[in-house]
Amino acid sequence: MCGIVGYVGRDTGSTPLDVVMEGLARLEYRGYDSAGVALVTESGIDQRKRAGKLENLRTEIAAHPLAASSTGIGHTRWATHGGPTDENAHPHLGGEDDALALVHNGIIENFHQLKAQLLDTGVSFRSETDTEVAAQLLGREYARTGDLTAAMQSVVARLEGAFTLLAVHRDSPGTIVAARRNSPLVVGVGDGEMFLGSDVAAFIGHTRQAVELEQDQIVTITPEGYSIVGFDGAPGQGKPYAVTWDAAAAEKGGYDTFMEKEIHEQPHAVADTLLGRTDEDGRLVLDDMRVSEDELRAVDRIYVVACGTAAYAGMTAKYAIEHWTRIPVEVSLAHEFRYCDPIVDERTLVVSISQSGETMDTLMAVKHARELGARTLSICNTHGSTIPRESDAVLYTHAGPEIAVASTKAFLAQITACYVLGLYLAQLRGGTYADDAAQVMQELRGIPEKIEQVLGSMDRVEEIARFMADTRSVLFLGRHVGFPVAMEGALKLKELAYIHAEGFAAGELKHGPIALIDAGQPVFVVVPGPDTPHELHKKVVSNIQEIRARGARTLVIAQDGDTDVEPFADEVIRIPHTSPLLQPLLAVVPLQVFALHLSTAKGLDVDQPRNLAKSVTVE
Ligand code: M6R
């Protein structure tokens, strides 16, 4: 996820540089590993870009001021392809004499093929990004057509993936052309000036009149107005609306908290993490793989090292990876890894999972694993962070920056990435489940829509949470992949609402924890789908019966159409049908929403709970 701004204006008193820099400051929450601006000036494109926070760009511009202009674009980046360096920062230049500048949000899935074609024709590249490919293609198309909108139309027809592109050309001052597919873009309408942004925060200081674009549309803005066409060239229309948020709310996309916003970004986090994972032949591919296929084929044991929510993602993945690959997987809390004298050698793959890539416990576990000779693979959300740098291979989650301390979208993206890894290993090693990879990938691609459905039906969960604001203890039960979901539900509640909460494997109840059940004790139960093997569904339904008989208030998360739970449930929270291993991607969502609203009902700070930091960089 990156932040994008564009501005054109005439005699308005605003300068493009000021407007763009102000917009970038408001969009910095969308990505902050590098930033840049490009202006169309009398002598051509003038641009500055710098790795690091926006402050670095400000310093650069102060040292090397930009020429006057009426047209500017800017970008604040959250790296996907290519690390957070000056060269990889946007804008990227293209065309003859670098006459065109382009910024991009999203992932161009087929950029390897396009880049190879461009290299064959003698084009050279300055960055490792997918974006520069689009800039080069657009520069060439402009040279051919002399029309930026027509050039954009012909380029987007060749791109696969999700993208918002904004481009300016030296020979078209006063014009910005933008395109969107599965990535956000809004137009801001001013008087003698027009704006573009990834969201309204980009221009909220200047206008509240906005136009939402549909998928697969191209918009051209000039100081006088805007025009829209579809990717197919057909005239299009946007949806005008008035923004009712203030600047602070705009950064949160109109949500009250970053956590709520991030919960709602989960469909995108999953979809983006799946982007670009298959090659032309439908075979799975990973990022930065510095371990040979032979080494991976030889792996006979996997350790997952992670902390907190990331460890629960690892516990979920254990079920799937073992099932698909038949390789034993052990999940170790990273801070315990070194002390358990792990059985690790060069045939062991140690998979670390970390949103931030900076968690010291996880980093130390990775270093220890390397010392023992293991191959290390990092599943991480932050390009350029320490853990991926210290690992042999990386699989990036594409959840975008997670600002709220409580992890939500990163959890779903981590499970998704772990599943991609499991399928990749299965494919590499052949065997029973290798052929299932395509089918599981297809089901995974349908998950974002199902998460949307869950998010659209959370009213009752919010009500229950508000009603339970005085509750002192909540228990969570699950079996199989529902077990880590139960623990994640409990963790969310502890950290956000400061309530005692425990997650148990439902089968463990009878071995002790059932003594905790008293009249009115709230218990969430994650129920596997009726088609889960080993009669697991039936067993969990009996667990619900047992606790209900002892007075528990049962809050049951069950698949659509599962009527068996109804006689024993005080509340049934419905989720769509999935195959058993994919259910955590849906079942955890109501638990996140519950914790969020219970915390809010208690008047607590949802985004920054007490005693906690986003990234724990001490052991
Ligand atoms: O950045 P990481 O994923 O390595 O962080 C690991 C944990 O500290 C993190 O998941 C923590 O448990 C979350 N705040 C929980 O919501």
Residue nearest to atom 6 of ligand 1 (CA): 307
Distance 322 CA to ligand 1 centre (A): 24
Across residues 143-170, what is the average pLDDT? Answer: 95
Q: Are residues 430 and 284 in the same domain?
A: yes
Residue 450 lies inside a defined structural domain of this protein: no
Q: Are residues 72 and 204 in the same domain?
A: yes
Across residues 505-512, what is the average pLDDT? Answer: 93
Q: Of 411, 445, 479, which one is at a domain's C-terminal end?
A: 445
- CATH number for the domain harbouring residue 123: 3.60.20.10
Q: What pLDDT shows up at residue 437?
A: 86
Q: What pLDDT shows up at residue 608?
A: 87
Q: Is the CB of 109 under 6 A from ligand 1?
A: no
Q: What pLDDT shows up at residue 423?
A: 93
Q: Are residues 341 and 489 in the same domain?
A: no
Band (pLDDT 50/70/90 cuts) for residue 250 is confident
Q: Is the CB of 397 under 6 A from ligand 1?
A: no
Across residues 234-254, what is the average pLDDT? Answer: 82
Across residues 7-30, what is the average pLDDT? Answer: 89
Band (pLDDT 50/70/90 cuts) for residue 68 is confident
Band (pLDDT 50/70/90 cuts) for residue 243 is confident
Q: Are residues 578 and 492 in the same domain?
A: yes
Q: Are residues 226 and 265 in the same domain?
A: no
Q: Which two tokens stand for residue 95?
A: 């065309």
**How many structural domains compose the chain?**
3
Residue 237 lies inside a defined structural domain of this protein: yes
- Higher pLDDT among residues 383 and 274, named by residue: 274
Residue 199 pLDDT exceeds 90: no
- Cβ partners under 8 Å of residue 259, min gap 6: 404, 406, 408, 496, 596, 606, 607
The type of residue at 171 is: D
Starting at the edge strand found earlier in the chain, the sheet holding 329-333 runs: 329-333, 301-306, 348-354, 375-380, 393-396
Q: Are residues 176 and 321 in the same domain?
A: no
Q: Which two tokens stand for residue 440?
A: 């599981």
Q: Of 214, 230, 245, which one is at a domain's C-terminal end?
A: 245
Distance 359 CA to ligand 1 centre (A): 8
Band (pLDDT 50/70/90 cuts) for residue 400 is confident
Looking at the CA of residue 356, tell me the nearest atom of ligand 1. 1
Residue 452 lies inside a defined structural domain of this protein: no
Looking at the CA of residue 411, tell me the nearest atom of ligand 1. 10
Q: What digits encode the pLDDT tens for the residues 542-576?
A: 999 999 999 999 999 999 999 999 999 999 999 99
- Higher pLDDT among residues 283 and 348, named by residue: 348
Q: Is the CB of 559 under 6 A from ligand 1?
A: no
Mean pLDDT of the chain: 93
Q: Is the CB of 495 under 6 A from ligand 1?
A: yes
Q: Are strands 186-189 and 209-212 parallel, antiparallel or unpaired?
A: antiparallel
Q: Are residues 525 and 467 in the same domain?
A: yes
Residue 471 lies inside a defined structural domain of this protein: yes
Query: Which of 120, 139, 205 has the alpha carbon at shortest distance from 177?
Result: 139
Across residues 173-189, what is the average pLDDT? Answer: 93
- Cβ partners under 8 Å of residue 300, min gap 6: 327, 328, 347, 348
The Cα 54–Cα 427 span in angstroms is: 42
Q: What pLDDT shows up at residue 31?
A: 81
Which of these ranges, 8-12, 260-264, 301-305, 333-337, has the smallest mean pLDDT? Answer: 8-12
- Higher pLDDT among residues 13 and 327, named by residue: 327
Band (pLDDT 50/70/90 cuts) for residue 615 is confident
Residue 15 lies inside a defined structural domain of this protein: yes
The Cα 149–Cα 169 span in angstroms is: 11
Q: Are residues 426 and 474 in the same domain?
A: no
Band (pLDDT 50/70/90 cuts) for residue 239 is confident
Q: What pLDDT shows up at residue 561?
A: 96
- CATH number for the domain harbouring residue 273: 3.40.50.10490
Residue nearest to atom 16 of ligand 1 (CA): 406
Q: What pLDDT shows up at residue 441?
A: 92
Band (pLDDT 50/70/90 cuts) for residue 434 is confident
Q: Is the CB of 309 under 6 A from ligand 1?
A: yes
Across residues 227-256, what is the average pLDDT? Answer: 86
Across residues 401-413, what is the average pLDDT? Answer: 94
Whether the pTM exceeds 0.85: the reply is no
Q: Are residues 208 and 353 in the same domain?
A: no
H helix intervals, 353-392: 360-371, 386-389
Residue 425 lies inside a defined structural domain of this protein: yes
Q: Are residues 229 and 89 in the same domain?
A: yes
The Cα 555–Cα 569 span in angstroms is: 6
Residue nearest to atom 14 of ligand 1 (CA): 406
Residue 479 lies inside a defined structural domain of this protein: yes
Q: Is the CB of 354 under 6 A from ligand 1?
A: yes
Helix (H) or strand (E) holding 23: helix 16-27
Q: Of 211, 245, 279, which one is at a domain's C-terminal end?
A: 245
The Cα 551–Cα 323 span in angstroms is: 37
* Percent share of the chain, pLDDT over 90: 77
Q: Are residues 49 and 138 in the same domain?
A: yes
Distance 433 CA to ligand 1 centre (A): 31
Q: What pLDDT shows up at residue 282?
A: 74
Q: Are residues 123 and 195 in the same domain?
A: yes
Residue 280 pLDDT exceeds 80: no
Name the 3-class secondary structure at 297: helix
Across residues 181-203, what is the average pLDDT? Answer: 91
Q: Is the CB of 362 under 6 A from ligand 1?
A: yes
Q: Catalytic annotation on 2?
A: yes
Residue 286 lies inside a defined structural domain of this protein: yes
* Percent share of the chain, pLDDT over 70: 100
Q: Is the CB of 149 under 6 A from ligand 1?
A: no
Across residues 128-133, what is the average pLDDT? Answer: 94
Looking at the CA of residue 615, tell me the nearest atom of ligand 1. 1
Ligand 1: residue of 312, 353, 359 to mutate (most ligand atoms within 8 A of CB) is: 359
Tell me the residue range of the domain where 225 lies: 3-245
